[in-house]
Structure 1
Amino acid sequence: MTVIRAVPGLAEQVYQAVLDEICDGVLPPGAHLVQEQLAERFGVSRQPIQQAMALLKADGLVEERGRRGLHVAALDLALMSHHYAIRGALDALAARSAAERCAGDETFALGLEARGRKIIEAGLRAVESKAVRDQLRLEESFHSLLYEASDNPLLARSVEPHWRFLRRAMGDRLRETPQPESIWRQHEAILDAVLAGDAALAERLAGEHVGQASEMLSKTFTGADENRAAPAA
């Protein structure tokens, strides 16, 4: 049994634990979420479970089916596309702002390079070892580094709800199709442009990266749906 300690932010911890299970496929689409069972499994009262469920519903990850209670929602491809569109605009802004900052501060650029290269190297290792959860964590870490480097505190806060939804979509895809190494080479190209202080290039590459990710996920899930619907040969 996974027991969560009673500390401030308990609802957020329950939220993260359930989100991890949704992203990892432990709780697949349609899975029934019985609050009493979750409370017993995580070793908490009903209140943080209810609060966590409310957050998951707001993020479009859980839905209420009348008297049948709460269930893990099916992935909404149209909603996923909308999330990616907003994230793409925010990521492009972050990359541009970070590049402009590097252009005027060589010391900052050196520190950013060390952190960015470390994440990219770890990401490539995660791809090689097919560690899905690590790939998701490092993917988010790389982009979070750019939000931080932009020196705009509103960026990370603005993009957070989109990452929560997209992390689930990315997890579903990575369990079906391995992440290509080229994703991390794209990260590397974005970082190179940022470090070079090339704001226009960094902005373009960041936007293209998110757009390609959205297209790749849409094709993966559309293809999977078509395969499930096709009659046996």
Structure 2
Amino acid sequence: MKLLKPQPSLTEQVYEAIVDEICDGALPAGSHLVQEQLAERLGVSRQPVQQAMARLKADGMVEEVGRRGLWVTRLDADLMRHHYDIRAALDGLAARMAAERIAAGPERGQQFTRAAAEILELGQRAVETGDVAGQVRHDMALHTLIYDASGNPLLARTAEPHWRFLRRAMSEVLRHATLPREIWRQHAEIVEAIAAGDAARADTLMVAHDLAAAETLRAALDVPAAEPANT
């Protein structure tokens, strides 16, 4: 049997590079994506770019407009809310199951608390330095930790497509509005409830956190770009 290579494929690297540029604002909504130019800029052939574009279209980050080629899609506030509704249900279940497992095996709580504390520190540091990409990355890491702590491997897999869409929405809003310190305060509360084995509270806090984020994102997206939302 042929051994799998541990390093990401060229397609995966191209995909991540373009996602990062979209999320960071280097490729804003409405940007025209010319595959030949992207291939030249990234130092790869057209094939991995084409394959990455297929994934980006499936994720809703780019769209094909007739014969005009591929363009970075504009954020759809209604679609974003639908993603968040599903994510809230999945995240609430993950938080509840993680707390239940910790209540049944307290040693898991110590491991979870240590890992969560490190992510919380990194997230708060990213807020202080204005590192938007870092805030999103550590946010995703914390939620992934909770999925793992739930003991249900299907949760992370089911949530993944929603995260790919919301990663961009989170990045867009964090550059202009929202309250990142409040987000991380909520994260700390959720971690505390899970570590204490309080399943009902962990579920409630997580669902409220996700739905409040959806409202914050919606409000920021409704504000014209020339008038950033109040912080």
Q: SS of the residue aligned with 1:67?
A: coil
Alpha-carbon shift at residue 9 of structure 1 (Å): 2.3
Aligned residue number for residue 3 of structure 1? none
Deviations 1:58-105 (A, max 9, x none): 111101111110000001111101110111110001000100010011
| C-alpha distance in structure 2 between counterparts of 1:167 and 1:56, whole Å | 13
Aligned residue for 2:118? 118
Q: Structure 1 pair 83/178, CA: closer, same or farther in 2 (3 Å)?
A: closer
2-side partners of 1:176 and 1:130: how far apart? 11
Q: Which stretches of structure 1, 4 residues or more, deviate above 4 A after TM superposition? A: 225-228
**1:142-177 deviations in whole A, cap 9, x for unaligned?**
101000101111111111111111010011111112
Aligned to 1:231: none
Displacement of 1:222 after TM fit?
0.7
The aligned runs of 1:82-231 (5 Å cut-off) are 82-177=82-177, 179-224=179-224
Deviation at 1:178, TM superposition (A): 5.5
How many angstroms does 1:180 deviate by?
2.8
| Cα separation, 1, equivalents of 2:97 and 2:13 | 32
- Which structure 2 residue ranges, 5 or more long, are not aligned? 1-6
CA distance in 1, matches of 2:227, 2:127: 26
Q: Matched residues in 2 for 1:8 and 1:117: separation? A: 28
Distance 2:80 2:185 in 1: 24
Kindly indicate whether the alpha-carbon contact (under 8 Å) linking 1:94 and 1:150 is maintained by their aligned counterparts in 2: yes
Q: For the residues of structure 1 that align with 2:162 and 2:187, how far apart are their CA atoms?
A: 19
| TM-aligned CA deviation for residue 209 of structure 1 | 0.3
State the identity as a percent. Answer: 56
Give the structure 2 partner of residue 26 of structure 1.
26
Unaligned runs of 5+ in 1: 1-6, 229-233
Counterparts of 2:221 and 2:182, CA distance in 1: 20
Give 2:16's aligned residue.
16
How many aligned residue pairs are there?
222
Give the letter for the 2:14 counterpart.
Answer: V
Q: Post-superposition shift, 1:57?
A: 0.6
1:226–1:133 CA distance, 2 compared to 1 (3 A): closer
Q: In 2, distance between residues paired with 1:10 and 1:83?
A: 29
Q: CA deviation at 1:225?
A: 6.3
Distance in 2 (CA, whole Å) between partners of 1:98 and 1:174 is: 28
Write the distance in 2 (CA, Å) between the matches of 1:19 and 1:145.
Answer: 22
For residues 216 and 178 of structure 1, do their structure 2 counterparts lie closer, same or farther at Cα, with a shift above 3 Å needed? closer
Kindly indicate whether the alpha-carbon contact (under 8 Å) linking 1:130 and 1:178 is maintained by their aligned counterparts in 2. no
Letter of the 1:133 partner, please give it.
A
What per-residue deviation string (whole Å, max 9, x for no partner) do you get for residues 185-207 of structure 1?
10011011101111111011000
1:65 aligns with: 65
Aligned partner of 2:42 in structure 1 is 42
TM-score norm. by structure 1 comes to 0.92
What is the root-mean-square deviation of aligned Cα atoms in Å? 1.5
Amino acid corresponding to residue 190 of structure 1 in structure 2:
I
Alignment-mate amino acid for residue 224 of structure 1: P
Return the alpha-carbon distance in structure 2 between the equivalents of residues 8 and 145 of structure 1. Answer: 22
Question: Is the CA contact 2:178–2:220 (under 8 Å) kept in the aligned structure 1?
Answer: no
